[in-house]
A and B are shown apart, each in its own frame.
Chain A
Amino acid sequence: MQMKSRNSIHEASFRDPSGYMFYDGVVLRRAINPIYFPQYKKLKESGFFKTLIDKGLLISQEETSVSEEKIIITPERIPFITNPYEWSFEQFKHAALHTLKIQKYALSKGFILKDASAYNVTFHKGKPIFIDSLSFDFYEDDTPWRAYKQFITHFLGPLVLAKFHGTEVFKMLQTHIDGIPVKLIASLLPAKTKLSSTLYTNIHLLAKMESKHSEDYKAETKVAKLSKKSQNNILDSLFDYIKNLDLKESSEWGDYYSKTNYEDAAFITKKDFVSSWVNALKPEKLIDVGGNDGTFARTVLDKVAQVIVTDIDSNAVDFNYKQLQKNKETNMLPFVCDVLQPAPGIGFNNTERDSLIDRLATYAPDVTMALALIHHITLSGNVPFEKSAEFFAKFSKYLIIEFPTREDSWVESLLVRKREFINHFDFYNESNFEAGYLDYFELEKKEVITGTKRILYLLKRRDDVG
């Protein structure tokens, strides 16, 4: 497991001298250094932490031990961390609003968020939650918000760019771990954004001021001032602006399941197989890869403690997120994932943010579902069966996988697109599929979905694999 380094300090927490996260066995704890004791004590004793925790805004934490050298706290465990480049538009928006809300509350209590990194927020129990309890510091009268620029590069910039260019923009955060540079954001925005007072001041003017003062070596002697009222105006105005942000091509989720190539009866048959197989396995953790808006995962949602649904389509993830909020589902976690290009490990040493495969292997779902996915991996991605089997075997104990045969209309259309190379894909058939997958898995169950050209498999990872 790469999440643990030799000294078991969590790889994502070295930047802040106030403290660090570490593994005590399998439990993740937070150590606070003496430099941060005054802040921590005030945050705790004033009831600030308690209010945020009671409101479900900050992850709950227990004080484990106190000494002169260190205070150790143990935060509630978050089973699976999603990163900003894996969020849908609505999720990204809510993480931004969440950060502003916490900063405004902090300011009213004499504190500030000293950093506004998007990595301080993740999704837990169906809601955004702030996870870095050392991000707070004392407010000094009339000082501007020092995390302001970080908020723009981590939140406002990516959101506004997504509005104009689509949510693919969020993937830029994989190459810019501390946010998209302001200058780059400004240059990518259409000229008309200069007419918006919010975008002009927060992005274009900021970019100008940045380059004007970037080589100002006497910076420390100059002090900028800002009243608390003014800072609240910035926060309120950003909150309003972001809350009303929509994607320009606000494509309503195109109801994928009305475009399926099979009858309602077959749809129900497939659902019945999936739910009876899943229920028999009694899983604690399930992941549906390429699970769309969560339709199939929802058939077992009341029987499984934790359900993760990924999809390549940010709109489908968005639709799932809206649904889970509406239904108040606390055990559903959707995020965006392209199986052909899963999120890599990024940051210093490539370990600050773990790769998707590492996170999934650590999470170790009991059941993985891959329905109506293999033909895309194999025929659109040109991934041989044994390679995709290897991928699933890295993190799945049981795998429920649907194989659409060559006669399936979608497979046919994918094959037709190969044109003169169509013969190169003759390997796409049932027996080669089984040969590839049975290298890594044992066959438990196999059923043809009546009324379709598809076969559903229940596979179990071989003991000598993984």
Chain B
Amino acid sequence: MISLYFDPGLGAMIVQAVVAAAAGVLLFSKGVMYKVKSFFGLTKEQDDTYDSIDIEEQDTDANEEQK
């Protein structure tokens, strides 16, 4: 076991199963809603300047190959 200095709290560890289940349902229904909305052309652009949660890795890989 890796020793860690931050106590995660057992309650907080257990609750994540429920949080994840709720998140899964929400993400799924949002995905469905998005498809329905985009079918009718109702999707709108986000105005927040922060991009997405995912990191595009292609360009760094390409850089490495060039070197």
Contact = CB atoms under 8 A, between A and B. Distances in A.
A212 interface: yes
A188 interface: no
Nearest to B21: A230
Main SS class of interface, B: helix
Contacts of B16: 144-145, 148, 224, 226, 230-231, 234
Interface in B8-38: 8-27, 30
B57 A198 contact: no
Nearest to B56: A55
The interface size bin for chain A is 35 or more
A310 interface: no
Contacts of B8: 144, 146-149
Given A197-B22, A230-B16, A100 B11 contact: no
Given A55-B60, A224-B10, A243-B46, A146 B17 contact: no
A98 B4 CA distance: 23
A97 B2 contact: no
Given A50-B60, A201-B15, A224-B16, A236 B27 contact: yes
Contacts of A214: 9, 11
Interface residues of B, number: 38
Nearest to B17: A226
B42 interface: no
A230 B20 contact: yes
B54 interface: yes
Which of A98, A104, A201, A235 has most chain B Cβ within 10 Å? A201
A24 B49 CA distance: 37
Given A101-B55, A243-B50, A205 B19 contact: yes
A83 to B, nearest CB: 19
A206 B15 contact: yes
A213 B27 contact: no
Main SS class of interface, A: helix
Contacts of B53: 97, 100-101, 104, 235-236, 239
Contacts of A230: 16-17, 20-21, 24
B60 to A, nearest CB: 5
B6 interface: yes
A373 B30 CA distance: 48
A209 B19 contact: no
A408 B17 CA distance: 62
A241 to B, nearest CB: 9
B40 interface: no
Interface in A61-100: 93-94, 97-98, 100
Shortest Cβ-Cβ A-B pairs, 6 listed: A237-B23, A209-B11, A230-B20, A149-B12, A146-B8, A213-B11
28 contacts: A16-B5, A17-B3, A35-B3, A51-B55, A93-B50, A94-B49, A101-B53, A101-B54, A104-B54, A114-B4, A137-B2, A138-B2, A144-B14, A146-B13, A149-B9, A206-B12, A213-B14, A214-B9, A214-B11, A216-B10, A224-B13, A226-B20, A231-B20, A234-B19, A234-B23, A236-B27, A243-B48, A322-B49
Interface of B: 2-6, 8-27, 30, 46, 48-50, 52-55, 57, 60, 63-64
Given A210-B11, A237-B22, 6 more contacts: A55-B55, A144-B12, A145-B16, A210-B12, A224-B17, A226-B16
